[in-house]
Structure 1
């Protein structure tokens, strides 16, 4: 493909704390046109709020450390820099960029985007996932803005664009609009860019990081960050710089496509991207072509990430070894609750892991109750409990925790502002949206949108909740072998607020047919009994040979408030892959 026909967008950060050398590696490793970085996980907004309360910056200072290495080279090479590292204070971050540039003897045009901060506004605090209403005061409230403010900043001549809360994919879609001039009616190109943005937003997870088949990935220790070669039609080649570690394959791209995914209709402020229309194809070594993505008009609402202070929490972890593990766990609990009543706390979670760790987490509005009163009660049992008693956590005070609470607002009520070198640019035109149906709560809006098929695209998005009875491809007269599911299927899992997402994919049409028939929600609950009490939505993505499950409420009230040892459900996919299934022998290699 002619370089003039592609926009090479490189990622250098997938989260707040990612590899500091990545920006320099991407700028020096080969030609790129745009350098992007994602700092804002849902948890990060809460971390930045805590920093701000302590008098620290409300943006990600690690961005400035990376920028110091590359600002000069980027200006020399004409590389644009687009980042959401502005967090809760994009104006402050932009000012810090100016100050850094001054120390380096440089004069970049720096833009920043505001308008996402809705803190203090009167919001309808109905949870978009559960329909519950929040009666607490928000600590932060930030709408997920779209890509057009970024495009406007680039069109006005910005060298560096700093945003607050935008969708992760907007960091790719914005440059795409700037380069190719896509209007709101160019739904398919916009949708393609959203998919490309979703693939590269998490850095090395697209190039072999956290990959189910990690043994196929060369030199993972020096994994290269991803690049999306975005084309005018919205298709993109996912690749990485030559000579870097890692792997770009249909498998690694599929793994990232199903990460933190809900249904096949991926709602955003610029477009609804149809993930069930994606086509993946090898395009050479470490190159995968992503094409065919269909788009629909965006909904008339924007998601708002609300965080509030939930109270205080404390966890004590005891180790159980030898014989009679479950009986020892009962004795340990009885000893603790004899010293402090279980009902003294707002909530209690007790988990016994397969490796013999007994984790007791308490949460309460009172810091003293959840603090020393609890941890001291556990320590007091040390010589009057089960044999082999020892713990992994010393007694300590409780720590405050926050809760993520997603709500919806009318898109028309949120007006982004773009500033270039401190001067406000003319406002961008609002994106035409699909009218939202009347609904008493937020959730029916999402459900209704997710239920509307595109006329010429078959809708296999939601599968019925099967009882797990034998179906096509699983008949008893077909020779079978009992093997871990992970021998023929990959998986990746993550968090979506209080819900967990679990994506599972395989490599051939025959294997996918078996997987889609066999892995029902009922079977999933049999394989992972911890999920039995949760509502699970199941979605089919046959174009990429994948299934996606959304496990509602598994993470409680979100990552910061989750009592799970794995609060972001990162390991859920690997737990599933280790479970034994009866696989038709002809599908096993």
Structure 2
């Protein structure tokens, strides 16, 4: 018999037991108030406790003991409370203290990785075998807060391990020892496939069909939640991984906390949506929000917390007293961030259909905090493959940024760019080197990024962005030497060359492919114990989730004589995946969605954004529209729209961060006034 006292009930809610007929035949239903001052004894049934499939409880009342039976104990557990303190490598480490002190958390997750980050970490490890992870995690984020984290019983999960999780774990253990704190660190490895490149040589790029590069700079599989769950089962206080899927860092603790199997697709889908909402930190709580003027205390942005219930539904909140903004709009925007087809958001553990997800208005929750409730995710079986991201060298680039003042500033900047390129190419031809043919000239302040939608106002201040790329490093070095000459031999008013002469940097392109899960065994290590772990491979092929995107176009209905900017009717948010950008659009009122569906077609968006595509590409063939009716949303995917994307792009906006902002000026014509819509 296991004695469970009052503290036991702090982990459970909504208790209701009906005594069995052979136990005094009381026939009463008891709530948690009956147990508040009494000890109970629990006899284990089938499975482990808590979360077992059958639990017998012997409850001592004043008159006589009652025997109760419950067959699904896990559904009475409190929600699993997960806070996210980092959305990328470079996020503020102050979020850790904010969440630890004010979040009442069960788990803290920190996301550091992107495809390009993996490549940079590979280069760092090549120089020093003890590097290859995100040092901020140890030095500035979790390390200084280890005592508070340990005292509160918070468990930490992070992909800060990069390509060297073991070194990251060792550094954290060293920091803990110096602070006199005893922690058990778990490590998940196996996602780094660089040493096995020949095994996956035939893996084809999902977009171009090209084989794996012969000499990739980095190659990593996006792994799932299963290995993290196993590390938690083995008692890890902190779990450090490599390139796991961002959402897996939330799915794993929720599954462990509630006792789910990852094959419980509905619950896993809800927790994965929670992870998706958390993964970019403050973007769910006011960061990058369309209505940015409503956001409070930017200096103290509140970071998000997801309280995941036993059915997978979640409530998004932030610490009391923190800044930012928590609203239906902030959460809906983040829901559509960096996704493709919302019917099948493919993750390592499952595919998630978010078309039926609903997002409520903020309301006061049981814990006294304001929260936004998110429900309705549907899970589909996982594929038998991992997505793999490889980066490879494709030449070198450099970017010069020059500040120019005075009348006709933009015109002077363009003359400076033209003169610099002509002089550099003359020198290259003399040296027998091919000229620079890949470059990007943009006058920031003259609205060059808006293409035909620019408002032609002559500014007396502008910034020249001049970026070049070449296969030979020497050619880029010549550019770097020559760009500063405009300071005395160019147009008047060149105020500064920001950062001085630019340095050549590698151009790293992304190759995305699929590999069989069975070919990527993982290793889970906690303390001195290590074991192999293979994630479940579903019988579904990735191609089964690649569906058409119907976009029925029709002539807009004339409803009035007013023209409204899209911003008046909708929120927007944009993000990148390689060379593709997605723009999520969410109706401010559900009843406005039909108007957006009618007027904001894929063709309309393609025409409006045509200037972001290469000249040889037909924008009408590159834009797909998907509907997300649960939140009154539309998701547009713009392929080949980022000039290569990431560090392969020469543009200032290599990730499409401003695309959603551009679309806010889209005109919706022949409508009545807003108050009559």
Question: What is the TM-score with the length of structure 2 in the denominator?
Answer: 0.78
Q: Where does residue 530 of structure 2 map in the other structure?
A: 424
Write the deviation string for residues 48-75 of structure 1: whole angstroms up to 9, x where unpaired: 2232233262111111132223222222
Aligned residues: 563
Cα distance in 2 between the residues matched to 1:369 and 1:429: 47
- Structure 2 residue 251 is matched with structure 1 residue 173: yes
Q: Identify which of 442, 460, 478 aligns with 1:351.
A: 442
Q: Contact 2:306 / 2:314 at 8 angstroms: preserved in 1?
A: yes
Q: Identify which of 64, 74, 99 aligns with 2:174.
A: 99
Most deviating of 375-384 and 15-24: 375-384
Q: Where does residue 106 of structure 2 map in the other structure?
A: 33
- Which runs of no fewer than 5 residues in structure 1 stay unpaired? 437-444, 452-460
Counterpart mapping for 1:38-437 below 5 A: 38-55=111-128, 57-64=131-138, 65-121=140-196, 122=198, 123=200, 124-264=202-342, 265-282=344-361, 284-285=363-364, 286-317=370-401, 331-332=415-416, 334-341=418-425, 344-345=435-436, 347-353=438-444, 354-355=446-447, 357-371=463-477, 373-380=478-485, 392-393=497-498, 394-425=500-531, 427-428=532-533, 430-436=535-541
Cα distance in 1 between the residues matched to 2:158 and 2:443: 41
Q: Contact 1:111 / 1:420 at 8 angstroms: preserved in 2?
A: yes
Cα distance in 2 between the residues matched to 1:494 and 1:77: 35
Write the deviation string for residues 305-345 of structure 1: whole angstroms up to 9, x where unpaired: 21222221012345677777887676555533432339613
Q: Where does residue 512 of structure 1 map in the other structure?
A: 593
1:213 Cα deviation after fit: 0.6
- Which runs of no fewer than 5 residues in structure 2 stay unpaired? 1-11, 14-75, 365-369, 427-433, 448-461
Write the deviation string for residues 517-576 of structure 1: whole angstroms up to 9, x where unpaired: 111122213333423544112111111111111111222333111111111111111121
Most deviating of 523-532 and 273-282: 523-532
Cα distance in 2 between the residues matched to 1:465 and 1:51: 50
| Structure with the larger RCO, 1 or 2 (CA within 8 Å, 6+ apart) | 1
Q: Identify which of 542, 546, 559 aligns with 1:450.
A: 546
1:390 Cα deviation after fit: 6.2
Q: Identify which of 536, 540, 548 aligns with 2:623.
A: 536
Q: 1:382 to 1:37 in 2, by over 3 A?
A: closer
1:298 Cα deviation after fit: 1.2
Q: Where does residue 571 of structure 1 map in the other structure?
A: 658
Larger radius of gyration: 2
Q: Where does residue 44 of structure 2 map in the other structure?
A: none
Q: Contact 1:119 / 1:141 at 8 angstroms: preserved in 2?
A: yes
1:424 Cα deviation after fit: 0.3
Cα distance in 1 between the residues matched to 2:362 and 2:644: 42
Q: Identify which of 78, 83, 101 aligns with 1:5.
A: 78
Secondary structure, counterpart of 1:523 in structure 2: helix
Q: 1:72 to 1:390 in 2, by over 3 A?
A: closer
Q: Contact 1:465 / 1:521 at 8 angstroms: preserved in 2?
A: no
Counterpart mapping for 1:482-561 below 5 A: 482-531=563-612, 533=617, 534=619, 535-561=622-648
Q: 1:305 to 1:422 in 2, by over 3 A?
A: farther
Q: Contact 1:52 / 1:58 at 8 angstroms: preserved in 2?
A: yes
Question: What is the TM-score with the length of structure 1 in the denominator?
Answer: 0.89
Q: Contact 1:525 / 1:531 at 8 angstroms: preserved in 2?
A: no
The RMSD of aligned alpha carbons is 2.6
Q: 1:94 to 1:509 in 2, by over 3 A?
A: same
Q: Where does residue 441 of structure 1 map in the other structure?
A: none
Secondary structure, counterpart of 2:352 in structure 1: strand
Q: Contact 1:346 / 1:365 at 8 angstroms: preserved in 2?
A: no
Cα distance in 2 between the residues matched to 1:380 and 1:220: 40
